[in-house]
Amino acid sequence: MKAVILSVFLVTLTNASLLSRSYQRISGGTSAPITTYPFAAALITNAGAGSYQQACGGSILTDSAILTAASCFHTEGVEHPIHWWRARVGSVYANSGGVTHLIRLISRHPSYNWREGDGDIAVLRLTFPLALGPSVSAVNIAGGAYPDLENQQPIDAIGWGLLSEGGDSSIALRSVQFWAVDRQLCRQRYAARGFTVTDNMVCAGWLDVGVKAQCEGDTGSPLLHHGVVVGVYSQTAGECAEGRYPGINTRVSAYTSWIIQEVRKQL
């Protein structure tokens, strides 16, 4: 298994083994300290009257770059202005603590298609570099040769958001463990909804059980395999954690070269 580590100057990679576009969040998780996931970034958006609220998540790649989902900034054909957004790092809380950073550039993958959900990945460039330390550090991402996850392989997700469908959002970072879902089975489930699961996607959840899942507000947050980011949460059909439809994550290893290119471009 090989991992890619994106240091302050270079992304590090690891090689190992039409739905609702509302922001998605973690359901059924447990509280997670920021020192356990120091690469976690809360993306907050303008809520009016000078206030901000958490809307998406991301992963710190370097001291100036964050990995997230393109759909956070482009919903049903409507662009979200960059000045609406901030990135909070170094805090377990999405709306307080840590340090809030301005975002000066949003690089969406050129193949991103909001109607089909493919290519849902983006790299953000911060206006000023992060001060790295115990609560703020870069994460490893899957390299281009990272193998597909086997069915029922345990994986982890983190994020801020609803504790259940239609419920309250979590004020603190949460983590949840569930399982990778065979892509062909996932493809069959989603075909009934007219949605195509491509090879650029990773399906994950507690199939036919639910309870634990990525849900409203987790868009852009990482899917982790042995601490390596293998997916970026994109969307789920129906209600979160209902069981029939696994969460759809963008497969990071399909975009490794582009991510490195964007990070180097931004140095």
253/194 Cα distance (integer angstroms): 25
> Which residue, 219, 225, 217, 228, is CA-closest to 249?
219
Q: In this structure, are 130 and 177 located in the same domain? A: no
Q: In this structure, are 128 and 199 located in the same domain?
A: no
Under the banding of pLDDT at 50, 70 and 90, the label for residue 30 is confident
Same domain? For 124 and 50 the reply is yes
d(CA 233, CA 215): 9
> Does the structure show a pLDDT above 50 at 10?
no
pLDDT of residue 135: 98
Identify whether residues 162 and 248 lie together within a single domain: yes
Which CATH number characterizes residue 56's domain?
2.40.10.10
Sign of torsion over alpha carbons 157, 161, 162, 166 = negative
Residues 73/43, Cβ–Cβ less than 8 Å: no
pLDDT on residue 22: 37
Nearest to 201 by CA among 167, 235, 176: 235
Q: Are residues 261 and 207 in the same domain?
A: no
How many CA atoms, within 13 angstroms, populate the side-chain half-sphere of residue 154? 4
Count of CA atoms in the C-beta half-sphere (13 A) of 185: 15
Question: Which value, to the nearest 10 degrees, does the dihedral of the CA atoms of residues 184, 185, 191, 195 take?
Answer: -70
**HSE value, Cβ hemisphere, 13 Å, CA-based, for 81:** 3
Query: 236 and 24 in contact (C-beta within 8 Å)?
Result: yes
Cβ neighbours around 46 below 10 Å, total: 16
Residue 32 — pLDDT band, cuts 50, 70, 90?
confident
Q: Is 32 a domain residue?
A: no
Residues 127 and 206 in one domain: no
Return the pLDDT at 167.
Answer: 53
Domain membership of residue 152 (yes or no) is: yes
Q: Which residue range forms the structural domain that includes residue 94?
A: 38-138+254-266
Does 22 map to a domain?
A: no
Mean pLDDT of 4-12: 49
Average pLDDT over residues 71-86: 87
Both 248 and 148 in one domain: the answer is yes
Both structure tokens of 210: 């639910």
Amino acid at 154: P
Q: For 143-177, write each residue's pLDDT tens digit.
A: 999 999 988 999 999 998 655 555 556 689 999 99
Is 112 among the domain residues?
A: yes
* Number of structural domains in the chain: 2
What are the pLDDT digits (tens) for 215-229?
A: 777 899 999 999 999
Q: Are residues 114 and 73 part of one domain?
A: yes
Q: Does any domain span residue 19? A: no
* 81/181 same-domain check: no
134 and 147 assigned to the same domain: no
The reply to whether 207 falls in a domain is: yes
8 Å CB contact between 3 and 143: yes
Based on the domain organization, do 145 and 248 belong to the same domain? yes
* DSSP bridge pairs for 100: 88
**Residue 96 has which token pair?**
């307080």
Q: Is residue 239 part of a domain?
A: yes
Residue 15 in any domain: the answer is no
State whether 56 and 154 are in the same domain. no
